[in-house]
Every structure is written in C-alpha cells, then in structure tokens.
Structure 1
Amino acid sequence: MAQIRTITRSGTRFYFDPDKPDLKVPGVTSIISMLPKPFLAFWNAKMVAELAVDSLPFVQQMAERDRAGAVDYLKGAARRYTKARADLGSDAHDLFERLIRGEHVGRVHPDLEPYRKHFHEFLEAVNPELVRAEDIAWSDQHGYAGSFDAILNVWLDENGKPTPDRSGERHTVITDWKTSKATYPDVALQMSAYAHADRIIGPDGTSEPMPDFDGACVLHITDETWEFKPVRIDSADVFATFLRLREVFTWDREVSKTVLGRAIAKAAGQLVTGTQRRAK
C-alpha cells in the first residue's frame, strides 16, 4: 500500500487518497478556516502597535535607513508570533505522542518542560488507554481528511469524572491536544469532522472503518496548567455546521472562480484628439 501524501497550495492542505493517486481532498483545518474571524484584524493591529511602541527607537532608526524594511518588520509581528507558537505546538505534539505511546522521554528543552510535566499529570489523573494516534481520518462521503491526535479509551464514573483505576465505565473518545492560550468553540467542528469520517488511514496507507465514539475530549495544556474537557460532536448541530463550511470551501476555492464571465460590453476608452496624436 502507498503512504498517504499531502500538498499545500495557497495556504490549503490537500490529502491524496493512497489508493487513488489522482483524488485529493481538503484538510479539516483548511475547511474550518472558512469561519469568519473578524477579531483577527483587531489582534493583528494590536500586535503591530505593541511592537512599534515597545521598540520605537529601533524602528525609527530602521525607518531612516530603510522605510520599506521597517514597514515589513512591523507588519510581520503577528506572523512571527504565530510561527513561534506553531513551532512550540508542533514540538509539544511530538512530545505528547511519545509519552502517550509509553516512550521514555529524558531531558527536554526548558520551554517544553512544563508541557512534559503537565502531560504526565494528565496520564496519572486519567490513565487513558491509547487506541490510535496521529492517523488520518478520511471522509469518502463528504470529501475531506485530517490528522487527528489520538483515539483514547477513558474510564468515567457516573458523574463523568475519570477513574484512574479504571473502575468506571469505559468510553472511547476522539481526542485533541491544544497548546494555545485558550480552547475555542471551533475545536468541536474539528473533532466532529474526525469522528464522522468514514475510515482511518494508517502510516502504511491501509484503511479501516472509523470506530464508533462515545464522545470527544480536548486536552488543553499550557506552560502554566492543564485541563481535560468534553467536546460536543453531535451530527444534527455541530457536524452539520462543518458540512456547511465544506460547501463554503468549495464555493471559495472552485465555484467563485467560474461565476464571472468576460465583459460583453465596456467603455470605449478616453478619446484621443488629433492634436494629442501629433504632439507625440
């Protein structure tokens, strides 16, 4: 079996079916990016303003030598912050996968040490059983795919609290690790998309049906604390919203490029007089 491969085009990740190399589908996170996020404009402006104020003498000196460079430096504030956070998140996800698989992890970078400590606390407090990790959820019916963090078995008491001795009732949950400042509602769309996919594709390209889930959870870990939260993934409400975003994605990336035809009439252009022609 061929391994699954991905490409990124214009910020969108596409996954290729290992059995049908010509078939590609968009990634779950790219589809969710169709959600309107007006707060990002304010946040981006705030990042630029704070950088300008905090480094005013430096920016002034830069602007005197290279105005365009100073503008690029300021407008890249949010991008640089986002990349730094994404790099830390990737390293943390790699660490979490090693730990959930039972691998011994020795010393880590000081920036990752709080995340290692908190993940160990999670393992002790919940004592989950790993079913799958870092595989691809693929929807043949709706045409999307995405890499999920983990499928776990957790044992809960009648109040929905973990029983680390596994004396409670077993629940199979699709699980996501988050290292952002907070957890946001769109994680429900992400988890619902994974849970309602048709199959799982492993690293070697082999497929098996997606299991039935009792629910979903998100493990939110920061350098200061951690918490394990249930997430709604019901089809009538949450998954239905994701599917509408899937339609918006098709509109944005495909249909919108076909709806405007060439002009069938237009302005004739500005009159050029004989005097103007002779003057050239």
Structure 2
Amino acid sequence: MGTVRTVQRGGSRFYIHPERPEIKFPGVTSVIAMLPKPFLVFWSAKLTAELAVDSLPFVQQMAERDRQGAIDYLKGASRRYTKIRADVGSRAHDLFERMIRGENVGRVHPDLEPYRVLFADFLLKVNPELIRAEDVAWSSTHEYAGSFDAILRVWLDEDGKPTPDRSGTAVVLMVDWKTSAATYADVALQMAAYTHADLIIAPDGSSEPMPEVDGAAVLHITPDQWALKPVRIDAEVFDFFLTLRKVFVWDRNVSKTVIGRAIASSSQKLVTGTQRRA
C-alpha cells in the first residue's frame, strides 16, 4: 500500500486512497466544519473593529490613496490572525512530535520556547509511552480519514491521576495536542472519529487495524500552562460525528441537485416609467 496523499477541494481536505486514487474521503476536520459556528461572525467583526480603531491614522491614509485596499486590509483581519495562529500551531505540533519520539530538539525559535518547556514538563510528570504518532486513521466503513496526533500508553492511579514512575494501571489513550486559547467540545467528535476508524496507515504505506484504546485525552498547551483533560469518545459522540458526515454529503453534493431549471418565468423584465424617463 502506498502513501496517503491529500488534496484541497472547495475549502475541504480530502484523503486519497493509496492504491485507488479515484477514492477520496473527506478529512475529519472538514466533516466537523459542518457544525454551525455563529460566534465566528461576532469574533471576526470584533477583530476588524479593533484593527480599525487601533490603526485609524494608517487606515485613513490608505483609504485616501486606495479605498478598496483599505477595505480589503480591514476585512482580512480575522484571516491573517487565523493564519498566524495556525502557523504557530503547526510548528508546535512538529516540535511535540519530535520530543515525544525522544529527539533532542536543542534550541528552538523564541515563539516556540514556552511550548518546548511546558511539553517537556508534561513528559516528565506523565511519562507516557509512545505507541503511534502522526499516522492516518482510515475508515472505509464510513468513508472518512484524518491524521491523529498520538496514541500513548500512560499509567494512572486509582483516582485517574498519572503515575510518572509507571506504578499505576496502564491505559492506552488517543491523544490530541491543542494550542488554541481554549479547549472546545468538537475535539470529542474529532477523536471519536479517529478511534472508530478501521485502519491506521503509516507514512511508509504500511497499515494495520486501529488498535483498541481505553479512552482519549486532549493535551491543551499554551505559552503559560498545560493540562491533560479526558475526552468522551463513546458511541453517542461518534453518532454525532456520523450525522455531520451525512451533512457533508448534503453540503458538497446533494444540495447542488435539489433545485432545477425554471419551467416557467416572466417573458420580459418589467421596466418602470421612472426607468424609461431616466
């Protein structure tokens, strides 16, 4: 089996079957993007307003020279912020993978140093064993795929707290790293999708059945602190993900087929007297 490749289509990521390129499954995060997020409208408006107020002289000078350019600059505030945060998140994920694999990362960029220090603290206080990292979860049964961060073995005491000396009970967890400002409920949909997939496909193309896991957790790590939080991935949560998978089909395919061409219409556009006189 070859390597799994991805393509972007209409703003969604698709994973290409390594042996049958005509088969393209949507990515887990693209499926979860079907969730309505009305708060983003207010968040985007707030960023735009803050940028306008904080840079009034600059925006005024720009508008005098290029009105459309000033408009584009302001309306792009949320897009630029999202890209910056995504770039930091990607670099942090790369750093975490290197560290969890035991690589001595040495000096890192100052923007990443807080993440390096806190992830090292996580490794010290939890002392997990790496089982898999950055592989593809593939579901032929439900037609989706996605790259997960890690499957770890950790040891917990009777209260469910990690025992770094590995004296507790060993459990296998699907783990996701999050560097966002907060942890959000849709991470449960994401991790339920991974754990209910059929296969794991490694970068070299080898595959094996998705192993049984005992649970899931998200490591929420910011420049200030880290926290390992359990996440539900049971059948109820997975069923909500499958509902979104159906919504994805509606959004990308079926919705484009439900309205046909007009079978009757007005013979000509009405022109008013005012329009004629003008």
Q: Which amino acid aligns with 2:116?
A: R
Could you say what the CA RMSD is over the residues aligned between the two structures, in angstroms?
1.7
Residue aligning to 1:94:
94
Query: Which residue identity lines up with residue 208 of structure 1 in the other structure?
Result: E
What SS class does the counterpart of residue 245 from structure 1 fall into? helix
Q: Which AA in structure 1 matches 2:39?
A: F
Structure 1 stretches of 4+ moved >6 Å: none
Counterparts of 1:120-269 in structure 2 under 5 Å?
120-235=120-235, 237-269=236-268
Give the whole-Å Cα distance in 2 for the aligned partners of 1:42 and 1:242. Answer: 26
- The 1-side partners of 2:266 and 2:7 are apart by 42
**In structure 1, what is the equivalent of residue 14 of structure 2?**
14
Partner of 1:60: 60
TM-score between the two structures when normalised by the length of structure 2: 0.96
Q: Quote the Cα distance in structure 2 between the aligned partners of 1:234 and 1:123.
A: 27
User: Relative to structure 1, is the Cα distance of residues 270 and 111 closer, same or farther in structure 2, using a 3 angstrom cutoff?
Assistant: closer
**Counterpart in 2 of 1:38?**
38
**Superimposed CA distance per residue, residues 23-42 of structure 1 (whole angstroms, 9 cap, x where no aligned partner):** 11000000000001000000
Give the aligned residue type for 2:91: D
2-structure distance, mates of 1:13, 1:60: 39
- Quote the offset at 1:271 in angstroms: 6.7
Structure 1 unaligned regions, length at least 5: 273-280
**Number of the residue aligned with 1:277:** none
Unaligned 5+ runs, structure 2: 272-278
Count, aligned residues: 275
Alpha-carbon distance in 2 for matches of 1:120, 1:187: 23
Give the whole-Å Cα distance in 2 for the aligned partners of 1:271 and 1:181.
54
| Counterparts of 2:10 and 2:175, CA distance in 1 | 28
Q: TM-score, normalised by structure 1?
A: 0.96
In 2: Cα distance, 1:139 partner to 1:22 partner: 16
Letter of the structure 1 residue corresponding to residue 252 of structure 2: R
- Residues 1:271 and 1:126: Cα distance change in structure 2 (over 3 Å): closer
Aligned-partner residue type, residue 251 of structure 2: D
